[in-house]
Amino acid sequence: MKLSHDVLEALLLALPYHNDVINVPEPEPCMAQGVMLNLILLLIFCLSAVDSQFPRVCTTEAAFLTKSCCPLWKDKSPCGSLSGRGRCRNWLTFTGKEVLQNDDRLDWPRHYYENTCECHGNFSGFDCGDCKFGLHGEKCERKKEIVRRELRELTFLEQKRLFSYLALAKTTKSRDFVILSTGDRFHRQTYRFVDASLYDVFVWMHYYSMKAILRNSTFDPNKNFAHQGPVFPGWHRLNLLFLERQIQLMTGDEDFAIPYYDWRGEKNCSICTDDLLGTNDAQGVLNPYSHFSFWKAVCSGFNFPDEYCPLADLEQKMERLHRKPGATPYAPNLPSFQDVENILKLSNFDTPPFNETSLLSFRNALEGFLSPDGVTLRRSMHNLVHIYLGGTMSQIPISSNDPIFIFHHSFVDKIFETWITRYDASPTLYPDNSEVGHGPEDCATPYFPCYKNRDLIHKSMTFGYQYSSFPLK
Ligand SMILES: *[C@@H]1O[C@H](CO)[C@@H](O)[C@H](O)[C@H]1NC(C)=O
Ligand SMILES: *[C@@H]1O[C@H](CO)[C@@H](O)[C@H](O)[C@H]1NC(C)=O
Ligand SMILES: *[C@@H]1O[C@H](CO)[C@@H](O)[C@H](O)[C@H]1NC(C)=O
Ligand SMILES: *[C@@H]1O[C@H](CO)[C@@H](O)[C@H](O)[C@H]1NC(C)=O
């Protein structure tokens, strides 16, 4: 269907890189296989098996009519309640701070659903059919610990496996999730849910959550649900956990861990080689012999506040990835070792007014509206890296289309984790604030089930992963 033409093209070009047999566990329908032919067959199978992040089962008319997203689990009960996995809960406790106006994301997910699954104990997932991050097994009783390593610490074979997994994630249609594509945010009847690959669901989450907030028919560009406030580190942590988990489920490789890119003190993007992320020409076009040169950027080509992702299923309209490391005078260098040391000295997680003007705020310095000295408002850290890399990465709403995003954010998360460890931080450090979508009790947007923003400040082992060479030195 939508993906297939370019997917095939991409796979053919990627052949020299992906046709080695690698250690992929037994495939199930829509699962990984390292071998090219199987990949194509599986792909065709996956794309045709179902018709066309929202849980797919919750986008039926009935679900919207009853405002209920409590899917039946294997035991035929909502949220697996008969098996004690969870229950269908009416969230009378949604924050309710603001009357719902035009924006469908306010008080997530109340606009769409009043009933969603609340999972018990070790269970999680939109239907409580999965385990909490860091647990596995039939009853989710077994702990697991995966280690995220520097991209260049991986062996050659591990790197190949990583790129195969990413190629699969980009081409395998998500069974569980569809994405919202709409031409007009003022008119809900234009809202449409369409299929997307696992990787594109991940990209869309970032795009969707960072659109300007629409209130009383006015767009507020200084506020969104993933940036410019205390949710920034936790939201992105959850975003990576989501992708990591989806790749684990797709491949059956429970040990899959997202690597990171330690950019401190680099003179240029040293992972932008054709073996890894790809070189580029002066126009920013990626070398056709690199892994991601034929990837298309979902939700690219427009960024108007009054629409979401209207071309989400029109692949021919999407742009290819672009990258131009070091080309912009606005971001002449990557952050230094000293910069990272300095932001780690900021002991306040975040400070009033909890936006991009916050001073002495670890969050704002890490996000990069504040310089590492904590007192000057100047582009740094996370933002600086996006702008430095240029191209797709510098168009922040669609930036996660470039897989370098995940390695960058994995390192940002490593800095966050170093800070959590240094200050023995816990959810109680998450500040009370009334910024829309950034409250400690608000559900991170647009995830299922609800993850409260403050609950993302925990040591990473709570989520079953840790970093190599930790803490940062
Ligand atoms: C939940 O997981 C933990 C960690 O593996 C385990 O000790 C505990 O027994 C599990 N709880 C249940 C109810 O299975
Ligand atoms: C939106 O409009 C309503 C009614 O006019 C008003 O009470 C409310 O304060 C407005 N909200 C915002 C965020 O401007
Ligand atoms: C930050 O918050 C302050 C205080 O509410 C407000 O005056 C300012 O406009 C906000 N700045 C941005 C960029 O959102
Ligand atoms: C940085 O590397 C890219 C290739 O990845 C190259 O195109 C660019 O010219 C380099 N920039 C500098 C300043 O060396």
What's the CATH code of the domain at 272? 1.10.1280.10
Please give the pLDDT value at position 8.
Answer: 31
CA–CA separation, 201 and 435 (whole Å): 26
Residue 6 has pLDDT above 70, yes or no: no
Q: How far is the CA of 353 from the centre of ligand 3 (A)?
A: 7
Please give the pLDDT value at position 273.
Answer: 98
CA–CA separation, 387 and 76 (whole Å): 49
Ligand 3 contact, 359 CB (< 6 A): no
Angle at 200 between CA 225 and CA 326, to 5 degrees: 75
Domain-embedded: residue 460: yes
Q: Ligand 1 pocket test: which of 122, 123, 142 has the largest number of ligand atoms within 8 Å of its C-beta?
A: 122
CA–CA separation, 29 and 38 (whole Å): 11
Smallest-distance ligand from the CA of 229: 3
Domain-embedded: residue 111: no
Whether 94 and 450 have beta carbons less than 8 Å apart is answered as no
Q: Report residues whose beta carbon is within 6 angstroms of any ligand 4 atom.
A: 268-269, 272, 279-280, 325-326
- Contacts of 243 by beta carbon, 8 Å cutoff, 6+ apart: 169, 198, 199, 202, 258, 406
Smallest-distance ligand from the CA of 212: 3
- Which is more confident, 306 or 400? 400
Instruction: State the average pLDDT over residues 208-233.
Output: 91
Helices (H), 183-271: 198-209, 232-251
Please give the pLDDT value at position 111.
Answer: 86
Domain-embedded: residue 82: no
- Which is more confident, 93 or 334? 334
CA within 13 Å, CB half, 86: 32
Please give the pLDDT value at position 264.
Answer: 98
Atom 4 in ligand 2: residue holding the nearest Cα: 216
Please give the pLDDT value at position 314.
Answer: 77
Counting every residue written for the chain, the total comes to: 473
Smallest-distance ligand from the CA of 220: 3
Domain-embedded: residue 91: no
Q: CA-CA-CA-CA torsion for 258, 264, 268, 271, nearest 10 degrees?
A: -20
Of all atoms in ligand 4, which is nearest to the CA of residue 281? 7
Ligand 1 contact, 143 CB (< 6 A): yes
Domain-embedded: residue 257: yes
- Three-state secondary structure call for residue 187: coil
Please give the pLDDT value at position 222.
Answer: 85
Total domain count, the chain: 1
Enclosing H/E stretch for 157: helix 156-171
Q: CA-CA-CA-CA torsion for 128, 133, 137, 141, nearest 10 degrees?
A: -90
Please give the pLDDT value at position 306.
Answer: 86
pLDDT digits (tens, 9 = 90+) for 249-277: 999 999 999 999 999 999 999 999 999 99
Q: What is the CA radius of gyration of the chain?
A: 21
Ligand 1 contact, 135 CB (< 6 A): yes
CA–CA separation, 119 and 129 (whole Å): 9
Tokens 């250690």 identify what position?
A: 23
Minimal CA–CA distance to 428: which of 461, 449, 458, 450?
458
- Three-state secondary structure call for residue 248: helix
Q: How far is the CA of 251 from the centre of ligand 1 (A)?
A: 25
Residue 363: give the domain boundaries.
145-467
Q: How many percent of the chain have pLDDT more than 90?
A: 73
Of all atoms in ligand 1, which is nearest to the CA of residue 142? 5
Q: How far is the CA of 325 from the centre of ligand 4 (A)?
A: 6
pLDDT digits (tens, 9 = 90+) for 21-73: 223 333 333 333 333 333 333 333 333 222 238 999 999 999 999 999 999 99
pTM: 0.88
- Contacts of 156 by beta carbon, 8 Å cutoff, 6+ apart: none
Residue 394 has pLDDT above 90, yes or no: yes
Please give the pLDDT value at position 22.
Answer: 28
Instruction: State the average pLDDT over residues 185-204.
Output: 90
Minimal CA–CA distance to 420: which of 381, 368, 380, 363?
363
CA–CA separation, 438 and 110 (whole Å): 15
Residue 99 has pLDDT above 50, yes or no: yes
Ligand 2 contact, 215 CB (< 6 A): yes
Please give the pLDDT value at position 92.
Answer: 63
Ligand 3 contact, 353 CB (< 6 A): yes
Phi/psi of residue 239, nearest 5 degrees: -60, -45
Q: Ligand 4 pocket test: which of 261, 266, 270, 272 has the largest number of ligand atoms within 8 Å of its C-beta?
A: 272
Ligand 1 contact, 119 CB (< 6 A): no
Please give the pLDDT value at position 42.
Answer: 36
- The answer to which of 36-50, 300-314, 339-353 has the lowest mean pLDDT is 36-50
Q: How many percent of the chain have pLDDT more than 70?
A: 87
Is the bond leading into 27 cis (omega within 30 degrees of zero)? no
Tokens 């082992």 identify what position?
A: 461
Please give the pLDDT value at position 247.
Answer: 97
CA–CA separation, 61 and 80 (whole Å): 22
Q: CA-CA-CA-CA torsion for 423, 241, 24, 177, nearest 10 degrees?
A: 180
Smallest-distance ligand from the CA of 354: 3
Ligand 2 contact, 102 CB (< 6 A): no
Please give the pLDDT value at position 310.
Answer: 82
Instruction: State the average pLDDT over residues 73-95.
Output: 88
Please give the pLDDT value at position 374.
Answer: 98
Domain-embedded: residue 192: yes
Which pLDDT band, with edges at 50, 70 and 90, does 303 fall under?
confident
Domain-embedded: residue 448: yes
Of all atoms in ligand 4, which is nearest to the CA of residue 268? 1
Ligand 2 contact, 216 CB (< 6 A): yes
Q: How far is the CA of 286 from the centre of ligand 4 (A)?
A: 12
Minimal CA–CA distance to 226: which of 247, 208, 251?
208
Q: What is the token pair recorded at 130?
A: 């999965």
Residue 19 has pLDDT above 50, yes or no: no
Phi/psi of residue 107, nearest 5 degrees: 50, 45
Domain-embedded: residue 121: no
* Residue 179, strand partner residues: 194
Q: How far is the CA of 229 from the centre of ligand 4 (A)?
A: 32
Atom 14 in ligand 2: residue holding the nearest Cα: 216
In whole numbers, what is the pLDDT of the chain averaged over residues? 87
- Can you state the percent helix, strand and coil of the chain, rounding each to 5? 35, 10, 55
